[in-house]
Amino acid sequence: MTTTDWVEKDLKYIWHPCSQMKDYETLKPIVIERGKGIYLYDTEGKRYVDVISSWWCNLLGHSNPVINNAIKKQVEELEHVIFANFTHKQAIRLCERLVKILPEGLCKFNFTDNGSSSIEAAMKVSFQYHEQTGNPQKTRFMALTDAYHGETIGALSAGDCDLYTKLYKPILMDIIRIDAPDCFRCPYGKTRDNCNCECSIKAEETFKKYGNETAALLVEPLLQGSAGMKIYPPLYLKKLRELCDKYNVHLIADEIATGFGRTGKMFAFEHAKVSPDIMCLSKGLTGGYMPMAIFVTTQKIYDAFYDEYNSGKAFMHSHTYSGNPLACSAANAVLDILEDGKILKQAQENAIYFNNIIKEKFLPHKNVGEVRNIGLINAIELVENKQNKKPFDNRLRIGYQIYQKALQKGVILRPLGDVIYFNPPLIMERKDMDFATDVAASCLREVLAE
């Protein structure tokens, strides 16, 4: 079949995620045939630089030989087994390895099959814990404004990005909302480098009012991804940890997008040198190969569920593909690659170069309000007016116009509104950084003349 044939069949049958399908009338779906490293190749042989890690999950490049071989070997031994009363070596080995690198105190692992599901499970565990430890009034949850935690009902409730939540608000849970840090438009006139997180006063006020009825606070540590790669200081996490301790509220860390080296450390919480009560992991966990997620919690929380069966304290939550052996083999292969620290060290060194060239190429533009970065993640916020930081009318779809032009030149950007960002695999080399940023900068100038 020709590429046109494949495209026609796609449009006949497939309803793509996060898409207005009418857009596909003018920007047809691109049929990808293979991938290697940070590159994807379509059926016409055209190469694309995947600087968004295929929705932030491709950690170590497409078709990584170490991960490929691990899955090939595993599929010949065991493809799946019920994870209730049965187990397997890959899952046991994975947990044993993760506990050594996770923030202190996280030691009990519950497997789900996607990030949203791990958030749901974490919320349920927190609620049930309080019910079983003499605090039945703790039935609500807190989360930050502009948060994103997934798109199942509980996870979507915790989120606060109108693009995903606005329509569904009549069926969502009533979440207690804390004003998130906004370092680009700081109401206190501070910057990330000179603040004492004065904005944490909003969290203090919210805890004082609602702490007694709150089971858990959900937070994306240091990086609010879908909000436009909004980055805030580690000190803010420390202050949230103190408030959670004071009011007996669980701190749930959504490290689905930030885990496994994305922020320059293995986990974002390491920057703050504190630990959450529950941490949710996915995406980079399997290198983007297989759908799998885990929430990890403490011995204290686990013990509140440990009792005779007839006590009714068991956590009755399950997923068919919990602890899938193929996904666990991929995750173990990811740890094999990361274990000696060379990849992370290289990524940390390249991150400095990457941020420097992005600032050099983008900051002088009249419509670039801010360049922000953490690890290899870099975000460029476009504004109509640089002086007052006024955003563009979102109906103009400036970011989408840039995305379209970049595709023509072989770079996958997929901006978040009018925030262009780079979130590449950890293995990205400097020559590709040069190419991708040159393309993005040229597309920016074509859409928004200097």
Q: What is the CATH number of the domain that holds 154?
A: 3.40.640.10
User: How far apart, in Å, are the Cα atoms of 311 and each of 315, 317, 369?
Assistant: 12, 16, 57
pLDDT score at 193: 84
Question: 226 Cβ partners below 8 Å, 6+ apart?
Answer: 148, 159, 161, 164, 416
Within-domain flag for 411:
no
User: Residue-wise over 54-89: b if at least 16 C-beta within 10 A, else e?
Assistant: bebbbbbbbebeebeebbeebeeeeeeeebeeeebe
Is residue 88 located within the same domain as residue 163?
yes
Determine whether 129 is exposed, middle or buried from the number of CB atoms within 10 Å of its CB (0-12, 13-18, 19+): buried
Is residue 316 located within the same domain as residue 347?
no
pLDDT score at 273: 97
Instruction: Provide the domain limits for residue 292.
Output: 71-338
Single out the residue in 287, 317, 338 at which a domain terminates: 338
- Going along 115-245, which residue ranges are E strands? 140-144, 176-178, 214-219, 223-224, 230-231
Within-domain flag for 128:
yes
Within-domain flag for 4:
no
pLDDT tens, residue order, the chain (450 aa): 999 999 999 999 999 999 999 999 999 999 999 999 999 999 999 999 999 999 999 999 999 999 999 999 999 999 999 999 999 999 999 999 999 999 999 999 999 999 999 999 999 999 999 999 999 999 999 999 999 999 999 999 999 999 999 999 999 999 999 999 999 999 999 998 889 999 999 999 999 999 999 999 999 999 999 999 999 999 999 999 999 999 999 999 999 999 999 999 999 999 999 999 999 999 999 999 999 999 999 999 999 999 999 999 999 999 999 999 999 999 999 999 999 999 999 999 999 999 999 999 999 999 999 999 999 999 999 999 999 999 999 999 999 999 999 999 999 999 999 999 999 999 999 999 999 999 999 999 999 987
Is residue 126 located within the same domain as residue 260?
yes
Is residue 333 located within the same domain as residue 346?
no
State how many domains the chain has: 2
> What number of CA atoms fall less than 13 Å from residue 100's CA on the CB side?
6
User: How far apart, in Å, are the Cα atoms of 117 and each of 88, 95, 120, 214, 319?
Assistant: 22, 19, 5, 21, 9
Within-domain flag for 381:
no
Q: How many whole angstroms from its chain centre is CA 197?
A: 23
pLDDT score at 384: 97
Within-domain flag for 62:
no
Is residue 225 located within the same domain as residue 356?
no
pLDDT score at 5: 97
Within-domain flag for 215:
yes
141 contacts 123 by C-beta, under 8 angstroms: yes
Is residue 280 located within the same domain as residue 369?
no
pLDDT score at 449: 87
Is residue 367 located within the same domain as residue 271?
no
Is residue 239 located within the same domain as residue 357?
no
Q: SS3 helix, strand, coil % of the chain, rounded to 5? A: 40, 15, 40
For tokens 């072989």, the residue is: 410
Is residue 299 located within the same domain as residue 356?
no
Nearest to residue 260, comparing CAs of 218, 236, 292, 230?
Answer: 292
Is residue 119 located within the same domain as residue 239?
yes
Is residue 205 located within the same domain as residue 241?
yes
d(CA 313, CA 129): 9
β-strand pairing of 293-297 with 278-281: antiparallel
140 strand-pairing partners: 214
Single out the residue in 338, 357, 382 at which a domain terminates: 338
pLDDT tens-place string over residues 308-343: 999 999 999 999 999 999 999 999 999 999 999 999
For tokens 């020709």, the residue is: 2
Within-domain flag for 317:
yes
Is residue 311 located within the same domain as residue 354?
no
Angle formed by the axes of helices 325-338 and 89-98, to 10°?
Answer: 40
Single out the residue in 317, 338, 359 at which a domain terminates: 338
Q: What is the phi/psi pair of residue 217, to 5°? A: -110, 125
Within-domain flag for 33:
no
d(CA 144, CA 139): 17
